[in-house]
Amino acid sequence: MFQAKAQFFDNTLVKVRPFKFFFNPNVGLEKPVSSMFSITSELAYRKFDNFYDGSLKGQYFENDWFGYPSKVKFNGFEVALGARMYLITVQSEILKGYYWIAPFGFYYEAIVDYSHSWVYDLQIYDYGRSVYHNVNYPYYRANVRLDNLSLLLLIGYQLNIKNVVSFDMNIGARYYCVSRDTRQIVSTNPTYSDINIDDKLVDNNRRWQMAGRITLGYYIRYDWMKKR
């Protein structure tokens, strides 16, 4: 039984995205299923999420000088499942004549990614309703839920470092099939006449966006298998 489990995990990568890990701790697996193809998966705890203040209806407003959303403390999760096709095969003596390259080299990848996060009683400033940046913006407080379902198309390269560590870098595009921001109002500023307590504001902002990932991995190999 142990040998069967070891065979399953042999030639598998355990991976993390280090630049994302501080905000959203994550772990992933990549398991080759043939000489050219592998399956990837990732699970993350969303401790922070991107959040846009301002009016809804798809009209997001800048939260800093660079136009990026704020990092707001949320609770939530993210799951992703992908498939890779490696572009070049090479003969491997380890596998006795089989042509094998996955999980290293150049590849194409398609990923389906879903995340859900929430926060209660969040104070939201409406930057979109004021011309001057030095005024006291009207605000409201709301329970917020964010739901995102996206498709990523990537091309990248994964490097094998001394048969122990992997370095993976890719770039491509992400399409948000669903990007839903739901806000249940719990209180409002007295000067805010447009929104009432218990109102629900919902926005779904489908969009394309550039994407890229840098990942480090540990390469699982067992002594009874020859080292690659």
The pLDDT value given to residue 64:
44
pTM as predicted: 0.78
The pLDDT value given to residue 100:
59
DSSP conformational letter for 54: S
The pLDDT value given to residue 71:
65
DSSP conformational letter for 102: T
The pLDDT value given to residue 87:
86
SS3 call for 6:
helix
The rounded distance, in Å, linking the Cα atoms of 181 and 196 is 18
Using an 8 Å Cβ cutoff, are 26 and 17 in contact? yes
End-to-end CA distance of the chain: 24
Successive 10-residue mean pLDDT values, the chain, 228 residues: 55 90 89 91 87 46 46 87 84 51 90 94 64 56 91 95 92 94 85 76 86 91 46
